[in-house]
Structure 1
Amino acid sequence: MIEPIIDYIAGNKYLFAAAIFIVFYVLSELAVLISEKIFLRFAKKTKTNLDNVLVKRTSKPISLMLVAIGIKLSLASISLPEKAAFIASGISSSFFMLVLVYLIYSIVDTLLKHWGVSIAKKTSSTMDDHLVSLLSKMLKLASAIAVFLLILNVWGIEIGPLLAGLGIGGIAVAFALQSTLGNIFGGVSLILDKNVSIGEYVALDQDTMGVVKDVGLRSTKIQTFNNEIIIVPNSELANKRLQNIAQPDPSARAVISFGVAYGSKIEKVKSIVLKEINKIEGIEDSDEEKKPFVRFIEMGDSALLFKAFFWMKDYKEKWRAMDEANTLIYNALNKNKIEIPYPQMDVHVKRR
């Protein structure tokens, strides 16, 4: 009973082509099912997570690959006119090349990221994390270029002369892309030189300060305290004076200026203020060079001027600590009956 049906389908080229496509489509669905139900189950039993990720990332490309093969074989089984056959073959081959590069990209990118994570765990620096991210983006760009060149070849456009022409046109392209290439090399330079890392607080000038959110191929994104994202070209960032608050370590110094009235006991003022500063949570007191101290700076016009210096272990806590320090100093001076003067002017009016 089945043989007549098979003979009937085989005798009709369109039904035969449809049957080929259906078979490969079913195989593609089976490939996904086998990957998720069988291969992934075995992968989860291994010590490494690499095979789990590989199975997940390659199941879809492999499924699409089978669909692409099915389309190509089904079209090949139909005797189309020459022009239509050329177009159909070009479209199916282009789709096949796209899926092939997608599969290769998925495998290489997975291996690259796995390598990056394993290396990053062994180091305290975040440079390797950023470098892997940059390499991943460059791999994506290279894959797109590869697809473009392969599709050109599929449609009969000679790649050889095109690549040879790139040698001559490369100079013109380099000039045209000078800014873009400068940004890319600037991004690589920032990562390799360890100038900035994601999450660090940086300042370019008074108007551009914030936390680094991303270091990309062309630009770096900085989130300001107003919750705005400022995008700075890498070439500009690499050649500009950059203040990185988080380096060489996360500690930060705070300075509090204050004044007391003439006649106040200097040593008593220092003792009171120093005692209050040491109450601040997160203050650096383990390093002798960073322990808090108070200095009598100047005899001003209307007050004895002091400065209190202290370090915070984390620069992110600096502004909170300065607010707390000002509050503690003000309350302590008032409690000890030490006057905090303010500038005043005496005006003498002469009567005629």
Structure 2
Amino acid sequence: MVLSPLTFKIILAAGCLLAGLLVGIILEKAVIGGVTRVARRTKWQGDEIVSASLRWMVLLWTVLVGFYAALLSVPLSPGIRGAVTKVILVVAIFSVTIVAMRMASGFVRLYAERATGILPTTSLFVNVTRLVVLIIGALIILELLGISITPVLTALGVGGLAVALALQDTLANFFAGIHIIISKQVRVGDYIRLDTGEEGYVTDLNWRYTVIKTLANNVVIVPNGKLASAIVTNYNLPEKELSVLVDVGVSYASDLEKVERVTVEVAREVMREVVGEIPGFEPFVRYRAFGDSSIDFTVILRAKEFGEQYLLKHAFIKRLHRRFAQEGIEIPFPIRTVYLRQE
């Protein structure tokens, strides 16, 4: 049986498509599998970023090559062939843009995690990086399609003014987020308290809002503009360590020297067991007032970070109560004497 030239070309085109698909599957497993194996043997996390960025893209590129080879095998008019070729180039450039976007955002996140204090690890920087790469890819595609970029940029400039007026709050939050990140007064991982009462750990700072996770495991969403104008207490600045104050009262009949010695011993023991040694710090006591029914004083302990203070207070109060009972030191109840005048 003799095949006609058209049938032969159609079979050849189908073979090119099938070959591109098979080669893509083989290369996908070989390239991604090889990079993954190398990543497991090395400490550099960039291998994993490259592997994740190229996933499914090798297969797509080989399929595009096969499709282009099939296109050359099939008799088509120059106009249709040119249009299909441009579509293939657009898809190829867009896929390369996606790979570049994945790699850029991945390396920005990796660098931010390593260079603590230089580039904060927030989704804002990652999203801005993705947006920049995506815009560059879009401009290249427009240039390929023969669309002049200058009128587009002019239209974007004029339309940008209208968009800016319509999105004042969104843009205000965006630039407030940039200001917060650059100032480094609020960082991801810090424990903060706002003047409105909200408090918790900062888990993310993106282009519109800041995410705060409370100790009760709830999430508070604060617009960046409100956070930038709020009075914020940051318990991680200038350092994570913070003083923990515990108020105590003892009977007027107590030996205050003994009370101070016993209290410091208990505080030192609890700190060593709960938070570990803190170089250069020793717990201490400061008497502060003659109360209605007790002599009041404050015990100053120290925690390595904000969340430790609750367990530290818990352990200290239990152990101090037991030790005072053993030493015969009285923690008095509130007492009020009432005199009844008889006529």
TM-score range, shorter chain: 0.7 to 0.9
Secondary structure of the structure 2 residue equivalent to 1:128: coil
* Residues 113/201 of structure 1: CA separation in 2 closer, same or farther (3 Å cut): closer
Matched, 1:218 2:208: yes
Matched, 1:342 2:339: no
CA contact (8 A) 1:20 1:74 kept: yes
> Corresponding residue for 1:186?
176
* Residues 202/9 of structure 1: CA separation in 2 closer, same or farther (3 Å cut): farther
Cα distance in structure 1, aligned partners of 2:77 and 2:282: 86
> Corresponding residue for 2:154?
164
What is the identity, as a one-letter code, of the residue corresponding to 1:334? A
Pick one of 136, 146, 150 that aligns with 2:126.
136
Q: Which moved more, 1:162-171 or 1:93-102?
A: 93-102
> Corresponding residue for 1:70?
66
> Corresponding residue for 1:22?
18
Identity %: 26
What is the identity, as a one-letter code, of the residue corresponding to 2:231? R
What is the identity, as a one-letter code, of the residue corresponding to 1:23? A
Aligned pairs for 1:133-282 within 5 A = 134-146=124-136, 148=138, 158-205=148-195, 207-280=197-270, 281=272, 282=275
Cα distance in structure 2, aligned partners of 1:329 and 1:107: 56
> Corresponding residue for 1:313?
304
- The count of aligned residue pairs is 339
> Corresponding residue for 1:329?
320
* Residues 71/147 of structure 1: CA separation in 2 closer, same or farther (3 Å cut): farther
What is the identity, as a one-letter code, of the residue corresponding to 2:197? D
Secondary structure of the structure 2 residue equivalent to 1:220: strand
* TM-score, normalization by structure 1: 0.78
- 1:149-206 Cα shifts (integer Å, max 9, x gaps): 5666677765431211222233222233333333333333333322233332221246
Cα distance in structure 2, aligned partners of 1:221 and 1:52: 27
* Residues 45/302 of structure 1: CA separation in 2 closer, same or farther (3 Å cut): closer
> Corresponding residue for 1:303?
294
Structure 1 residue 57: Cα displacement: 3.1
Secondary structure of the structure 1 residue equivalent to 2:329: coil
Secondary structure of the structure 1 residue equivalent to 2:312: helix
CA contact (8 A) 2:177 2:206 kept: yes
CA contact (8 A) 1:127 1:191 kept: no
Structure 1 residue 65: Cα displacement: 2.0
* Residues 135/296 of structure 1: CA separation in 2 closer, same or farther (3 Å cut): closer
> Corresponding residue for 1:79?
76
* Residues 25/243 of structure 1: CA separation in 2 closer, same or farther (3 Å cut): same
CA contact (8 A) 1:10 1:16 kept: no
* Residues 30/338 of structure 1: CA separation in 2 closer, same or farther (3 Å cut): closer
CA contact (8 A) 1:130 1:191 kept: no
Cα distance in structure 2, aligned partners of 1:284 and 1:100: 53
Cα distance in structure 1, aligned partners of 2:244 and 2:337: 35
CA contact (8 A) 1:255 1:310 kept: yes
* TM-score, normalization by structure 2: 0.80
Structure 1 residue 349: Cα displacement: 4.9
* Structure 2 unmatched runs, 5+: none
Structure 1 residue 29: Cα displacement: 2.2
* Residues 11/263 of structure 1: CA separation in 2 closer, same or farther (3 Å cut): closer
Structure 1 residue 343: Cα displacement: 2.2
* Residues 18/251 of structure 1: CA separation in 2 closer, same or farther (3 Å cut): same
CA contact (8 A) 1:284 1:291 kept: no
* Residues 180/70 of structure 1: CA separation in 2 closer, same or farther (3 Å cut): farther
